[in-house]
Amino acid sequence: LGTPILTKEGEVIGVLVALHTQEIDNEQSIKQLFHTFTDRISAEMQRFEAENWLRESEERLAKTIESIPHPLIIVDNQTTII
C-alpha cells in the first residue's frame, strides 16, 4: 500500500509505503490515514527546503556586504537609515 508525497503544485517528491505480511483490512481507511500523513510530510519537507534557502540567502548577503570595501548605509522608502 503506498501514497505519493506531493508538493502544493502536485509534483511527486516521495512515496509513503506500508508493507505487511498479511492482507490489509479496511484499505480505504488506511489510504485516508496515509493521505493525512503525506500532507504533513510534504508541508514539513517544503518548510525545511524554504528554511535552507533562506539561510543560504542570508549567508550570501552577509558575505557580499562584508566584502564591500566602502561604508554602506541602508535606507528605507522614507530615507530613514535602517
pLDDT tens digits, residue range 45-62? Answer: 999 999 999 999 999 999
Q: How much is the CA Rg of the chain, to the nearest whole Å?
A: 23
Over residues 12-22, the mean pLDDT reads 88
Burial of 20-38, coded b for 16+ CB within 10 Å and e otherwise, reads: eeeeeeeeeeeeeebeeeb
Is the overall model pTM greater than 0.75, yes or no?
Answer: no
Cell 509513503 maps to which residue? Answer: 16
